[in-house]
Amino acid sequence: MLLQLKNIFKWVNSGGQRIFLLKDINLEVAEGEFISVMGPSGSGKSTLLNVIGMLDTFDEGEYNFLDESVHTLKEKHRSNLYKEYIGFVFQSYHLLDDLTVQENLEMPLLYKKFKGSERKAMVADMLDRFNIVGKKDLFPAQLSGGQQQLVGVARALIANPKLILADEPTGNLNSQQSEEIMELFKKLNQEEGVTIIQVTHSEKNAAYGSRIINLLDGRKV
């Protein structure tokens, strides 16, 4: 068992009313799964992903990640936990504009205190694996959307996470680029055993996963 959510509630108070973003979510994710989270806009997909990624807190319930109870952990331990085990992929890539491809890839390693030589090797390895060696000195603005997302995925993978969280990873891409990214996810999942949770609107993309979770108004349906 990689992670387990038990009766998770999350809400905000607005105008004297309590609005639920997540309502009584129960979820177990085993290592090696490839899960797609679906639902209409505002149904809580991204919120769920952020809670799983420990970027956001929840108001009620329990969350265990690799036998650690996340809800009792201090901020610092939490960030150490996700730093080590989780990689993020975003819809709008969120590469840093002022850094080259190579530097973007290297950034997470800096925060994980890898040595210079190790970082170099890991970046080179990743560039190799994703076939982007030739683009290592380019800036994000010089790449197409698909290429940028490729770098985004590479960055998420570089520190060998157990779990990849992808929030509409193909939302800004055309169909051909989308397919390439999804193929990549599938390959990572099947060949390397990386657990993936993705948020998507597209039935086609969802079909790449091994399990689909549907959300409506913060509730699992």
Q: How far is the CB of 112 from other proteins (least distance, A)?
A: 6
Site string for other proteins, 118-137 (x = CB under 8 A): --------------------
* Residue 141 in the binding site for other proteins (CB under 8 A): yes
Helix (H), strand (E) counts: the chain: 7, 10
Cα–Cα dist 201/217, whole Å: 15
- Which of 32, 61, 146, 171 touches other proteins (CB under 8 A)? 171
Q: Choose, by CB under 8 A, the member of 10, 45, 78, 155 that binds other proteins.
A: 155
Contacting residue, 7, 26, 69, 92, with other proteins by CB under 8 A? 92
DSSP H or E run through 42: none
Measured CA to CA, the distance from residue 164 to residue 197 in angstroms comes to 6
Rounded distance, CA 112 to CA 99, Å?
18
Compose the 97-116 pattern: x for residues touching other proteins by CB under 8 A, - for all others: xx--------xx--xx----
89 burial (CB, 10 Å; 0-12 / 13-18 / 19+) is: buried
With the C-alpha atoms ordered 193, 136, 169, 79, is the resulting torsion angle positive or negative?
positive
Within a 10 A sphere around the Cβ of 158, how many other Cβ atoms?
24
Of 58, 65, 88, 208, the one binding other proteins by CB under 8 A: 88
Residue 185 C-beta: closest distance to other proteins, Å: 19
Write the binding mask 21 to 40 for other proteins: x where contact by CB under 8 A, - elsewhere. Answer: --------------------
Least separation in angstroms between CB 50 and other proteins? 5
Task: Using CB under 8 A, list all residues that contact other proteins.
Answer: 46, 50, 53, 55-56, 79, 82-83, 88, 90-92, 94-98, 107-108, 111-112, 141, 155, 167-168, 171
